[in-house]
Amino acid sequence: MSLKGFHLFFIAVSVALSIFVFVWSIRRYTGGEESVGLLILAGICLVSAIGLTVYGVRVRRKLSYLGETSPHPRLVE
């Protein structure tokens, strides 16, 4: 696996873990353990899942140019 592939895989695993912890904390909160800390954890995980998804899309778009012979469009004036 290339470094590019590993990086994208690691981002995807991080997004999946963030979503898992988000769902877990919401289920515990609605299951009777009404702690504000669980809501804060859910919010942090939701924001990180969204941020990591945006980052992953941008990195994939940027890294797609590494295998091509033409220069990156932002580098060409």
Which tens digit of pLDDT belongs to each residue from 28-59? 999 888 889 999 999 999 999 999 999 999 99
pLDDT greater than 80 at residue 8: yes
> pTM for the whole thing?
0.77
Spell 63-77 as b/e; 16+ CB within 10 A means b: eeeeeeeeeeeeeee
pLDDT over 80 at 12, yes or no: yes
How many angstroms from the chain centroid is the CA of residue 45?
A: 10
Nearest to 25 by CA among 57, 48, 8: 48
Which pLDDT score is estimated for 67? Answer: 63
Structure tokens at 22: 């988000």
With beta carbons less than 8 A apart as the criterion, state whether 19 and 45 touch: yes
Instruction: Give the confidence band of 62 by pLDDT, cuts at 50, 70, 90.
Output: confident
